């Protein structure tokens, strides 16, 4: 279970650990002060994961950590 989110608004959108892109639940944008910062569209975590994997598979250069 992920830790509860305590970051709000614009700061939440800038932190990768807090920013879930378009996969927030219906209630979370309101709770986190993100309602006007996010588009109305929603996607699932599975869809976002698949989209990221497609992007990674198309990379032509190595990924360094």
Q: Taking the model in full, what pTM does it have? A: 0.39
**What secondary structure, in 3-state letters, does the chain show?**
CCCCCCCCHHHHHHCCCCCCCCCCCCCHHHHCCCHHHCCCCCCCHHHHHHHHHHHHHCCCCCCCC
Contact 17, 40 (CB under 8 A): no
Spans of all domains in the chain: 9-57
**Which pLDDT score is estimated for 45?**
78
- How far, in Å, are 19, 23, 37 from residue 8 at the CA level? 10, 16, 11
Q: Write out pLDDT tens, residues 1-59.
A: 455 556 666 676 677 666 666 667 777 777 777 665 555 667 777 888 898 899 999 99
């Amino acid at each position: 279970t992920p830790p509860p989110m305590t970051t709000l608004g614009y700061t939440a959108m800038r932190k990768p650990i807090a920013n879930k892109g378009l996969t927030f639940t219906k209630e979370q944008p309101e709770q986190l002060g993100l309602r006007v910062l996010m588009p109305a569209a929603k996607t699932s975590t599975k869809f976002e994961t698949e989209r990221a994997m497609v992007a990674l598979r198309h990379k032509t250069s190595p990924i360094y950590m």
